[in-house]
Amino acid sequence: MTRAVVRYDTGDAPPPKVDMSTTLAWFAMPSPVLTASGCAASGRELDQFFDISAMGAMVTKSIMLDARSGRATPRMAETPSGMLNSIGLQGPGIHDFIEHDLAWLRERGVRTVVSIAGSTTQEYEDLAKILRQHEGIDAIEVNISCPNVADRGQVFACRADTASGVVASVRRSTDPSVPVLVKLSPDVTDIATIAVACDRAGADGLTLINTTLGMVIDTDTMRPALAGVTGGLSGPAIRPIAVRCVWQVRQALPDIPILGVGGIRTGRDALEFILAGAHAVSVGTVVFHDPSAPMRVHAELAVELAARGFSRVSDAISYAHRPEDADLSSDAEDDELNPPEWV
């Protein structure tokens, strides 16, 4: 039989009773599943497929001060279990975003994480100051995987000093009641070093990870497949890299809130991130495959948690870091045995 995909559908079984609420710093959400920046625009399109106000939150496409045309096409190439993209942050600029997108999200009652991007530290600061004058922002995500014009186009995220410079100025300029998440790039020698620097600079949480740089050569034209030559690799192909980053950062920073992202396709994948140390997860590229994926992942995650005896998603956060001998203890399900105490 055919049927329309029913949103929130968990099959015929009643949804398991798992408390799915979580927090990123002091931003509380009823679901640990969010969208990922650049993979859901500003929400209107996905709202056709499911009620986006029911998700943990909407993470908007990274916005810059001014309008940007982005890069030439081709902007994407499919790869095994993933894709490369080289969009170049096409967008309308912060003022248009506030007037049209943020206003719509607010009216629609959607929890919103606004992602910002800049080409100088000053531009990030200006964006933070502009956003400070507006309501309806639950958190700011700072995309520091952008070329720094003052550093020969090196991305801010690849050095501890440039990363923490941006973080400190955004934290200083943002409304103190709004948590600032910093989104890191996996393309660094030691992600924990960058994470620690961002934490010291005042980050309230970290988003792990952005895409990892890749390249495809078109064997027909025998030239790079993307107009931008290289592109960011995303999708299930990068999931193990993302899980590794979450794990390493959780080891280095036992308490920092983490938003895990990279190749999440199912509730089982989301659980992997949570066990590795994520407080919440973003579903990115997989939305292109399945536009209702965030709600599906939410429902599947509840089933996966229930199957493992978790009554709250928060009990599963960092659970993979428990000591070797924890499983031998008779009361292994007691709350106090759950991390972060163990890490």
Partner 1 sequence: MPVQVRGEVVSVRRAGQYFVLTVTAPGVAEITRPGHFAAFAIGDLESSSLILRRAFSIYGVQSRGIYGGTMDVVVADSGPGTHWLTQRRRGDSLDVVAPLGRPFSLPREPVSCVLVGGGYGSAPLFMLAEQLRARGCRVDMLLGAATEEKLFGVLEGKRIASMVTITTEDGSLGEAGRVTDLLPSVMAKANAEVVYGCGPMGMLAAIAGIAGERGAYSQCAVEEAMACGIGVCMTCVLPVIGDDGVTRMVRSCVEGPVFRGERVRWDEVGTIPADTYGAPAGDHR
Ligand X SMILES: Cc1cc2nc3c(=O)[nH]c(=O)nc-3n(C[C@H](O)[C@H](O)[C@H](O)COP(=O)(O)O)c2cc1C
Cite the active site residues. Answer: 146
Residue 288: CB minimum distance to partner 1, A: 4
Residue 74: CB minimum distance to partner 1, A: 6
The interface partner of residue 264, options being ligand X, partner 1, none and the CB cut-off 5 to 8 Å by kind, is ligand X
Residue 271: CB minimum distance to ligand X, A: 15
The interface partner of residue 216, options being ligand X, partner 1, none and the CB cut-off 5 to 8 Å by kind, is none
Residue 264: CB minimum distance to ligand X, A: 5
Alpha carbons 342 and 322: distance in angstroms, whole number = 6
272: Cα separation from own chain's centroid: 15
208: Cα separation from own chain's centroid: 6
From 54, 76, 130, 306, residue interacting with partner 1 (rule: CB under 8 A)? 76
From 5, 149, 307, 332, residue interacting with partner 1 (rule: CB under 8 A)? 5
Specify the residue for token string 């902007």: 75
Mask 287-326, x = binds partner 1 (CB under 8 A)?
Answer: xxxxxx----------------------------------
Residue 222: CB minimum distance to ligand X, A: 25
Count CB atoms within 10 A of the CB of residue 188. 18
Alpha carbons 153 and 114: distance in angstroms, whole number = 24
In this complex, which beta carbon is closest to ligand X, that of residue 84 or of residue 303?
84
> How many residues can be counted in the chain?
343
Count CB atoms within 10 A of the CB of residue 98. 19
Are 146 and 91 in contact, with CB atoms under 8 Å apart?
A: no
Question: With helix as H, strand as E and coil as C, how does 211-256 read?
Answer: CEEEECEECCCCEECCCCCEEEEECHHHHHHHHHHHHHHHHHCCCC
197 binds partner 1 (CB under 8 A): no
41 binds partner 1 (CB under 8 A): yes
Residue 290: CB minimum distance to partner 1, A: 5
For ligand X, the nearest residue by Cβ is: 38
Residues that bind ligand X (CB under 6 A): 36-39, 61-62, 85, 87, 89, 115, 143, 183, 210-211, 234-235, 238, 261-264, 283-286
In this complex, which beta carbon is closest to ligand X, that of residue 68 or of residue 129?
68
Phi first, then psi, for residue 52 (nearest 5°) are -70, -15
DSSP 328: G
Alpha carbons 148 and 146: distance in angstroms, whole number = 6
CA distance between the termini of the chain: 49
From 34, 58, 65, 83, residue interacting with partner 1 (rule: CB under 8 A)? 83
Are 25 and 179 in contact, with CB atoms under 8 Å apart?
A: yes
From 28, 72, 149, 332, residue interacting with partner 1 (rule: CB under 8 A)? 72
Q: Which two tokens stand for residue 235?
A: 């999708």
The interface partner of residue 217, options being partner 1, ligand X, none and the CB cut-off 5 to 8 Å by kind, is none
For binding to partner 1 (CB under 8 A), which residues are involved?
A: 2-5, 38-41, 45-46, 48-49, 61, 66-76, 78, 80-83, 85, 87, 90-93, 227, 235-236, 265-266, 285-292
